[in-house]
Amino acid sequence: MRSAAGSRKIDSGDQEHFAEFQRHPYKMTRRIYFIAIISLTLLITSIAWYRFARPSQMPERTFPATINRDCAPWHGSAFTVSIPMEGEGIAISIYQSPEIKLPTTFSFPDKTLRAGNALLILSIGSAEQLTGNVSFQGVRQDTSVKGQFDLVTNAGEHFKGKFIAEWRNEIVLCG
């Protein structure tokens, strides 16, 4: 049966037919809750697996070091941090006065050759230029100097760690 507006009236036979396809609203809600619980469980499991399955970061080793006044190649003020390692050592020379008040990072090799250099001192006495960064929290005469380094040789040998350097009372005359 059609009305004048052209829409179809639903008779009682059609209502019974549609009743088969209608779902109770609580059944649909239970299904949504079930899917949500499964999704949350998968998400939490994935996060836990990612967090605990990846390799843990080894803490950076802190090396004891010494720091001395030094001279820059042009006879200006400088300082050198020496970090002894098994059979070798790292020498980091900074070509400026040892009065650095703020955290500072130096990159090596320095294209201007005015900041300093970092060398790997081999057990046979030869030295190899290192590439990378050295950071200082601050540098003051007669106080421990803390910093960190991330340096690499030309062959790809990697040196990374922290250091605490104590001043040695060597007299250096530049000029």
Q: Are residues 151 and 124 in the same domain?
A: yes
pLDDT digits (tens, 9 = 90+) for 67-88: 999 988 888 889 999 999 888 8
> How high does pLDDT run on average in the chain?
82
Question: Is residue 2, in this structure, part of any structural domain at all?
Answer: no
Taking the C-alpha atoms of residue 59 and residue 155, their distance in angstroms, rounded to an integer, is 24
123: containing domain: 62-167
Q: Are residues 39 and 95 in the same domain?
A: no
Question: Is residue 173, in this structure, part of any structural domain at all?
Answer: no
Question: Is residue 3, in this structure, part of any structural domain at all?
Answer: no
Total tally of structural domains belonging to the chain = 2
Q: Are residues 44 and 67 in the same domain?
A: no
CA distances from 5 to 2, 12, 79, 161 (A): 8, 20, 96, 84
Return the minimum-mean-pLDDT range out of 40-49, 82-91, 93-102, 145-154: 40-49
Q: Are residues 73 and 119 in the same domain?
A: yes
Asked if 163 and 64 count as a contact pair (C-beta separation under 8 A), the reply is yes
How large is the average pLDDT for residues 127-144?
Answer: 92
Q: Which of 123, 112, 131, 35 is nearest to 85 (CA)?
A: 123
Question: Is residue 137, in this structure, part of any structural domain at all?
Answer: yes
Q: Are residues 92 and 159 in the same domain?
A: yes
Asked if 81 and 69 count as a contact pair (C-beta separation under 8 A), the reply is no
Question: Is residue 157, in this structure, part of any structural domain at all?
Answer: yes
Q: Are residues 93 and 19 in the same domain?
A: no
